[in-house]
Amino acid sequence: MANLINKLSNDEQVDLSVLSIDELRKLHFEEECIFCEKILKLPPFSFERKELLTKGYDFAITVKEEIGRKQGESLTSHGASKKSIKVLKKLLIDKLLKSKEPVVLYEAGVGNGYAISEVLSCFNSDVESNKLKIKGCDIYMQPKMQSLISSNSKLEISEGDIYNLIKILPDNCIDVFYADNVIEHFIPDEAEIIFSEIARILKPEGYLYMWIPNRYVGPRDVSGYFLPFGSKALGTHFMEMSFNDITTAMNKNSIFHSHCVFFMPKTNLIFSIKNEALIKLKLSLESIFAKIPTRFLRRLNFALFGFSVSVMKKKETYEV
């Protein structure tokens, strides 16, 4: 069965079903590089940029879904993983136990709703009793997420770019802000403003929980199939960041690490530990591990030490 799509570069129609996996990846890479280069030239937060991003993500997801079909796989999570959900549940439990008011979770980049579905399965009674409120957004609302929204009236999920959706939220209104493989899609000339908005909407002692592909083991977007290890990503990962990068960016907004995360690759074992000394050690080790010449060993160490994971808290004295 034909699977027709128009190229982003010249609107030429392509039948994805007749292409091999290698040809699909090459098409994805070439088209993404072209549209990302255009995006960087457009004004920050402009309608034109948002429109092109939406079109680009639609194209990329369609191609990846075709690759998945050819490999006999499905795109079950689009970033969110069982490991990340385990920590998210732990943070929500912590807030639910301590708060006398409703706890508010905001997920940036809901994808196809995998993370929210997992949270609902564990905390449905809290959602039904309004002890837990779930909000979120995505620039491209996938059909599975649309179906989840239609079947649960308590979800407050919006389609659109994160900046325009969170800037209208009141100060100090979110208990847990969750972004799994989302921050890397921020555009550099917009990131600082978005970070400040995230800090503004977080409640004092609110959690900021992020998974961001680390730039020292990238690129982790489609350009990773075509560029040398350690290169700057040329696709939609505009901002693959180091652990130190994200620490510096968020510390400016009075948000600091609260947990040190470690996990075993290719397993669901993950550990989050409150320990300031471990966090300092992790920050100091990153640049040393970045010099490991072997791809496998560098990636293994970066995975074990959770250099792509940040669990942070907004300082109680933060001033909006």
Token pair of 176 as six digits: 């847990």
Q: List, in order of start, the domains of the chain with CATH numbers.
A: 4-71 (no CATH), 82-314 (3.40.50.150)
**3-class secondary structure, 20:** coil
Is a pLDDT exceeding 60 seen at residue 154?
yes
| Segment 294-301 mean pLDDT | 95
Strands 270-273 and 103-108: unpaired
Quote the pLDDT of residue 263.
86
Whether residue 159 contacts residue 137, with contact meaning beta carbons closer than 8 Å, is answered with yes
Residues 6+ apart with CB under 8 A from 196: 253
**pLDDT tens readout for residues 179-228:** 999 999 999 999 999 999 999 999 999 999 999 999 999 999 999 999 99
Specify the pLDDT at position 247: 98
- Percentage with pLDDT > 90 across the chain: 84
pTM of the full structure: 0.93
Instruction: Output the pLDDT for position 266.
Output: 73
Residue 229 has pLDDT above 80, yes or no: yes
| Cα–Cα distance for residue pair 266/303, rounded to 1 Å | 10
Say yes or no to pLDDT of 319 above 60: no
- Evaluated on CA atoms 153, 158, 162, 166, the torsion sign reads negative
The pLDDT, as a whole number, for residue 77 is: 42
Over the stretch 249-283, which tens digit does the pLDDT of each residue have? 999 999 999 999 998 877 778 889 999 999 999 99
Mean pLDDT of 132-136: 98
Q: What is the mean pLDDT of the chain?
A: 92
How far apart CA 286 and CA 212 sit, in angstroms, is 15
pLDDT band at 296 (very low <50, low <70, confident <90, very high): very high
- Find the mean pLDDT for residues 48-58: 91
Residue 320 has pLDDT above 50, yes or no: no
2 pLDDT band, cuts 50/70/90, is confident
For residue range 88-126, list pLDDT tens digits in order: 999 999 999 999 999 999 999 998 899 999 999 999 999
| pLDDT at residue 75, as a whole number | 53
Residue 129 confidence class, pLDDT cut points 50, 70, 90: very high
pLDDT score of 76 more than 50: no
320 vs 288, residue with greater confidence: 288
pLDDT tier for residue 147 given thresholds of 50, 70 and 90: very high
Go through 249-267 and write b for each residue having 16 or more CB atoms within 10 A of its CB, e for each that does not.
bbeebbbebbbbbbbeeee
Closest alpha carbon to 46 in 175, 185, 161 = 161
Question: In which band, very low, low, confident or very high, does the pLDDT at 74 lie, cut at 50, 70 and 90?
Answer: low
Q: How far apart are CA 60 and CA 215, in angstroms?
A: 21
